[in-house]
Amino acid sequence: MESIPPLPEPAMSSQDKLPIIYVRGFAGDTSGINKAVTDPFYGFNEGSTHVRVGPGEKPTFHQFESPLLRLHLDEGYHILVEGGQESYLDTHPEIPPDSIWVHRFYDASATSWGAKPREFRLEDAATDLLRLIEKIKAKSGAPRVHLVAHSMGGLVCRCLLQKVLPDRGTDPAEHVDKLFTYGTPHGGISFDVGFGVLERLRDTFGIQGGDIFGPRRMYAYLTPDAERRGDEPPDDWDARAIPQGPGRFPVRRVFCLVGTNPADYEVALGMSSAVVGARSDGLVQIDKAAVPGSHGAFVHRSHSGRYGLVNSEEGYQNLRRFLFGDLRIEAELTGHRLPADPEVSWQAEVLLAIRGLPVVVHERQAAHWCPLALPKAAAEGADAPPVPLATTFLRTDLPRPAGSPTMRYALHVRILSLRSNRRILSFGDHLEQTADFADSLVVDVGSGAAPGIWATWNSLIPGTIKDHEPQGSPLTDEDPAAGRWVAHVPFPETTRPLLGEQARLRLSATPWR
């Protein structure tokens, strides 16, 4: 029997877990900073009661306790406060490694404490974050920490990883194990209106400190001193990128959660999403919200508010599995040869559902402005380049339905064609909301006494998915290398005129944690 790579021991003790540090987003001017510092956990203790599912597409009640409380309840993490978390650290010689901390970098810039406030600089927030990490490591005995950041907080973390630590000659991986970002503007913030005038005004005058989202300031705080080539970023510089190589933070240890719902940011905060456009979470544009090469997921949530990313079940489930998962499963479309009609373009829609969760953990749809564009082959008779569809992280230690030896998830795949004539969409033979291919791959991952991976298309399953049990031997491992398992799942025969004879969905499994 072919088996998946050896997994860590399922049960995680407190010594296996690393401290988690939360880093909040942009507060704006002094009044916004003063408001932020009144919250004991900078907003990460906020939950929600609304979710956009239910009869008639009306919001329904779903109580999400908050990411801090859920990590305490689900993972046993300690939230330690005695007059202040900094005070707790200063007065206790030891702390448990499975503990949660909030980087309160805005406190020094608030006027409500009576002292002269310090002007906020992102580089100072990153340097202060390093001091907090060093103190937590020393008192917990943990080798590294996890960083979890919302919005601008992700840029504070990247400043630490890409500039502060390299300037000191320190490998950032010695301090940080994983970085998870919610709605971080990794590529800055730009606008769909004003023809660039709004960005130039913001970056020239630093209105409310917003120039930190412009290329000039981003280049300054994301680039080590030894690599700076003047004040202006070079033409080939990409703010989203984390350079790789010796002494660099591995991009595969980064997860970017991307929001695709701009409307609810406007409803929640009284701000218009029109200035950044529909392809956004209401503040950060979709194509600027992820680090190239990182892990990630798209969810139909807004930047913040009652339908926000941070206080969402979708965000928490992705965070929990990325930090504590045992197994990384990746899915790619390979070997496909779409019909070579120059007037037709192709898109894929993907949803990822994990058994036992009330939400999908990854969702890319045309209606949310984020379908996957399917490239065509470079030459006649050649396969198109592989297309990554989704990555998920599974937990062997989480409860499963009684009698089920496997972890299960489903990958929903829809492939759609768009016909155009001189770049104008043609609807002569169009059927709205109708895909040329639509099916779900049901994947079962076994462990313990029943290792292996089984995969079956939903269209081939008789009856309900709930009653489906994997049959026969698991898929054969096609990769001879140790520590990685790979198999290719053929598409249903009916797709051959569409996708070609060799189209496959490639599944890859590697240990994680």
Flag whether 10 is in a domain. no
245 and 352 within one domain:
no
Strand pairing partners for 146?
20, 178
Strand pairing partners for 393?
328
CB 213, CB 206: distance < 8 Å: no
Q: Read off the tokens for 333.
A: 């479309």
CB 129, CB 103: distance < 8 Å: yes
372 and 320 within one domain:
no
456 and 319 within one domain:
no
> Cα separation of 412 and 406, whole Å?
19
> Cα separation of 363 and 359, whole Å?
10
- pLDDT at res. 354: 97
Q: Read off the tokens for 146.
A: 């996890």
Give the Å distances, CA to CA, from 249 to 244, 245, 309: 7, 8, 25
List of residues 6+ apart from 267 with CB closer than 8 A: 305, 307
> Cα separation of 321 and 507, whole Å?
18
364 and 337 within one domain:
yes
Q: What is the DSSP string of 333-357?
A: EES------TTEEEEEEEEEEETT-
Tell me the one-letter amino acid at 270: G
Domain end call among 324, 359, 379 = 324
388 and 374 within one domain:
yes
Lowest mean pLDDT among 183-192, 221-230, 421-430: 421-430
421 and 320 within one domain:
no
Average pLDDT over residues 487-499: 93
- pLDDT at res. 367: 92
- pLDDT at res. 178: 98
CB 443, CB 453: distance < 8 Å: yes
CB 44, CB 70: distance < 8 Å: no
> Cα separation of 218 and 237, whole Å?
11
Flag whether 298 is in a domain. no
Flag whether 8 is in a domain. no
Average pLDDT over residues 148-158: 98
The dihedral over CA atoms of 313, 412, 186, 222, expressed in degrees to the nearest 10, equals: 100
Flag whether 286 is in a domain. no
216 and 353 within one domain:
no
356 is in which domain, residue-wise? Answer: 329-511
> Cα separation of 444 and 461, whole Å?
13
CB 100, CB 77: distance < 8 Å: yes
245 and 333 within one domain:
no
Report the domain count for the chain: 2
**Confidence tier at 389 by pLDDT (50, 70, 90):** very high
345 and 314 within one domain:
no
Express each pLDDT in 12-22 by its tens digit.
Answer: 666 689 999 99
- pLDDT at res. 75: 96
List of residues 6+ apart from 466 with CB closer than 8 A: none
Flag whether 480 is in a domain. yes
Interior angle at CA 121, CA 163 and CA 44, nearest 5: 90
Q: What is the percentage of the chain residues whose pLDDT exceeds 70?
A: 92
Q: Read off the tokens for 340.
A: 């070579």
More confident residue, 294 or 449: 294
Q: Which residue has the tokens 């240890």?
A: 253
496 and 460 within one domain:
yes
Flag whether 488 is in a domain. yes
Q: What is the percentage of the chain residues whose pLDDT exceeds 90?
A: 73
Contacts of 475-484 with CB under 8 Å at 24 or more apart are 475/2, 475/507, 476/2, 477/2, 477/3, 479/508, 482/5, 483/5, 483/510, 483/511, 484/5, 484/508, 484/509, 484/510
Flag whether 190 is in a domain. no
> Residue 426 pLDDT > 90, yes or no?
no
**Beta pairing class for 344-354 and 372-374:** antiparallel
91 and 214 within one domain:
yes
> Cα separation of 232 and 219, whole Å?
7
Average pLDDT over residues 56-79: 92
Flag whether 216 is in a domain. yes
Average pLDDT over residues 425-440: 81
233 and 90 within one domain:
yes
> Residue 144 pLDDT > 70, yes or no?
yes
List of residues 6+ apart from 149 with CB closer than 8 A: 22, 23, 24, 25, 156, 157, 179, 180, 181, 182, 184
> Residue 428 pLDDT > 70, yes or no?
no
Rg of the chain in Å (alpha carbons): 24
CB 186, CB 287: distance < 8 Å: no
> Residue 196 pLDDT > 80, yes or no?
no
Domain end call among 273, 295, 324 = 324
Domain end call among 272, 289, 324 = 324
User: pTM of the full predicted structure?
Assistant: 0.94
CB 185, CB 151: distance < 8 Å: yes
Cβ neighbours, 10 Å, residue 234: 10
> Residue 485 pLDDT > 70, yes or no?
yes
